[in-house]
Amino acid sequence: MNFQYWQPEIEKMPRAELKALQLEKLKKEVAIALRTTFYKERLSKKGIKSEDDIKSLDDIKKIPFTAKNDLRDGFPYGFLSIPKEDVVRLHSSSGTTGVPTTIYFSRDDIKRWANYMARCIYGTGCTKNDVFQNMITYGLFTGGLGLHQGGEEVGMMVIPAGAGNTARQFKMMQDYGTTVVHATPSFLLHLETKMKEAGVERDSLFIKRAFAGAEPYSEDTRRRIEALLKIDVYNSYGLSEMNGPGVAFECQCKEGMHIWEDGYFPEIVNPQTLEPVKEGETGELILTILCREATPILRYRTRDLTSFYTEACPCGRTHRRLRRITGRSDDMLIINGVNVFPSQIEEVIMGMKEVGNNYLIVVEKDGALDRMTVKTEVSSEIFFDDARLLNALKEKIMETLKVSISISPKVELHESGSMPVSEGKAVRVKDTRPKDF
Ligand code: DLL
């Protein structure tokens, strides 16, 4: 295979040098963190008053973990480490209780992020000759602009297509001769179904590669998309707290995602004890950003479960590879790439006096896409035969949920007392999507 490297001197850097670079960057990031109100207090309690208190990479263990709740508590500016006038952009994702998790970027932060993305994209064999159709949500979600900037950095012609509307996607693919696409794996499968329905011939398209991420999927799903669409699919991992996509990405070997260790310091711990697991064992991924000056985040609990490959990759990159994310150590659901916490839904429905006490969130597959239904009892005060009133209530729940979680689940209303009550711990989520890991 003909491997290509965006920054060969860093991507193939001997491990000892890479570790020295990490230490230098970690110290710098700690110094940056000490400028924020959150870390100033958090770190000084642990005796870390300056970057000089970090003498080795092992000293990272002195730093306490940061959780999603901390980011929420620090909202809006508790994690900001540069003057607000030097911020050029923010991205945000939903927090567990509706308070967003907001990440600020300086101009250089954006440049660095684009560079990591370019490393990922170029490493799959793309060049400036490619036409890249970015079929993922733009806006506050990092998937759109993240890959967009990386594509431009490589010099590809980028089509900011956005998500959805398969007919328009096919038209653009044909009109512009798209060679590379980016989407969630469920959207790629959905696209294939729609292609058949719309009678679009595979031969009328030029696509060769797809980047797929933002939600978990199995090796079988990858193979299926590859066979159906006759393309190579590369796994892409990231999270908004760590800029977004571009944290770890597969190279042409398609076996594990290289995590850019000069930008994101990874640890894998047992999610119960928070002690490191043995190299190669599965645990929760903890990440420290080493490449951002506006919003430092140290030892972030991603809640994502994964492990490192222990062997070196044939491509020659020295940055370690992560296995597919097999699950999470919290209850976050990912619905067609959108992160949703059951607590957000509970907050919405339980805040309405017309709603009764029992509810259930059902998640299932509808063809290739995910479908979520919120089933809830109405309050005993409500006359269940009043269709107009029930329809209005359904609309109200759907609209309020849309504002809170950015997606519109189906809503099903049930008569007060009619839904089964579980004996023990209430089961609030029934996720019937096949898990084929
Ligand atoms: O999903 C960033 C992204 C966009 C990654 C586009 C890849 C492609 P968040 O919305 O903050 O950011 O969601 C992050 O999504 O903690 C994982 O649980 C999950 N996730 C992301 N990529 C993968 C993947 C973006 N390749 C959360 N496999 C993460 C499994 C993934 N899960």
| pLDDT given at position 436 | 60
Check whether residue 116 and residue 173 sit in a common domain.
yes
Give 102 Cα–ligand 1 centroid separation in angstroms. Answer: 16
Gap between the Cα atoms of 293 and 375, Å rounded: 44
Check whether residue 182 and residue 302 sit in a common domain.
yes
Ligand 1 atom nearest 211 alpha carbon: 8
pLDDT band at 427 (very low <50, low <70, confident <90, very high): confident
Rounded mean pLDDT, 423-431: 79
pLDDT 10s digits, 120-156: 999 999 999 999 999 999 999 999 999 999 999 999 9
Of all helices (H) and strands (E), which one includes residue 395? helix 387-405
Give 415 Cα–ligand 1 centroid separation in angstroms. Answer: 38
Check whether residue 297 and residue 394 sit in a common domain.
no
β partners of residue 90: 104
Check whether residue 301 and residue 383 sit in a common domain.
no
Question: Which tokens go with 111?
Answer: 């440049």
Check whether residue 226 and residue 306 sit in a common domain.
yes
Would you say the CB of residue 236 lies under 6 angstroms from ligand 1? yes
Domain boundary, last residue among 329, 356, 375 = 329
Give 142 Cα–ligand 1 centroid separation in angstroms. Answer: 10
pLDDT 10s digits, 9-53: 999 999 999 999 999 999 999 999 999 999 999 999 999 999 999
Helices 342-350 + 387-405 axis angle, to 10: 140
Give 388 Cα–ligand 1 centroid separation in angstroms. Answer: 40
| Residue at 436 is within a domain | no
Gap between the Cα atoms of 417 and 58, Å rounded: 56
| Residue at 49 is within a domain | yes
Would you say the CB of residue 213 lies under 6 angstroms from ligand 1? yes
Check whether residue 80 and residue 117 sit in a common domain.
yes
Check whether residue 1 and residue 123 sit in a common domain.
yes
| pLDDT given at position 4 | 98
Would you say the CB of residue 133 lies under 6 angstroms from ligand 1? no
- Structural domain total, the chain: 2
Gap between the Cα atoms of 47 and 36, Å rounded: 16
Residue 308 has pLDDT above 80, yes or no: yes
Give 377 Cα–ligand 1 centroid separation in angstroms. Answer: 33
Check whether residue 33 and residue 101 sit in a common domain.
yes
DSSP three-state, residue 285: strand
Ligand 1 atom nearest 236 alpha carbon: 26
Would you say the CB of residue 271 lies under 6 angstroms from ligand 1? no
Would you say the CB of residue 284 lies under 6 angstroms from ligand 1? no
Which of 96, 234, 304 to mutate for ligand 1's pocket (most ligand atoms within 8 Å of CB)?
Answer: 304
Which of 136, 188, 237 to mutate for ligand 1's pocket (most ligand atoms within 8 Å of CB)?
Answer: 237
| Residue at 57 is within a domain | yes
Give 416 Cα–ligand 1 centroid separation in angstroms. Answer: 38
User: Residue 41's closest CA among 66, 18, 17, 20?
Assistant: 66
Give 334 Cα–ligand 1 centroid separation in angstroms. Answer: 9
| Residue at 12 is within a domain | yes
Give 236 Cα–ligand 1 centroid separation in angstroms. Answer: 8
Kindly tell me the burial class for residue 1, based on how many C-beta atoms sit within 10 Å of its own C-beta (0-12, 13-18, 19 or more).
exposed
User: Residue 374's closest CA among 384, 360, 389, 393?
Assistant: 360
Check whether residue 247 and residue 286 sit in a common domain.
yes
Check whether residue 241 and residue 287 sit in a common domain.
yes
Domain boundary, last residue among 280, 296, 329 = 329
Look up the pTM and report it.
0.91
Check whether residue 238 and residue 255 sit in a common domain.
yes
Please name the residue whose Cα sits nearest to atom 16 of ligand 1.
239
| Residue at 437 is within a domain | no
| pLDDT given at position 33 | 98
Residue 421 has pLDDT above 80, yes or no: no
Please name the residue whose Cα sits nearest to atom 4 of ligand 1.
143
- For 255-294, letters b (16+ CB in 10 Å) and e give bbbbbbbbbbbbbbbebeeeeebeeeebbbbbbbbbbbbb
Which DSSP state fits 159? E
**CA torsion through residues 278, 332, 149, 187, sign:** positive
Ligand 1 atom nearest 325 alpha carbon: 30
Gap between the Cα atoms of 235 and 256, Å rounded: 8
Residue 405: domain span: 333-431
CATH of the domain at 359: 3.30.300.30
Residue 178 has pLDDT above 90, yes or no: yes
Lowest mean pLDDT among 111-125, 151-165, 345-359: 345-359
Domain boundary, last residue among 289, 309, 329 = 329
Are the beta carbons of 312 and 258 closer than 8 angstroms? Answer: no
Lowest mean pLDDT among 96-100, 352-356, 365-369: 96-100
In one letter, which amino acid is 104?
A: Y
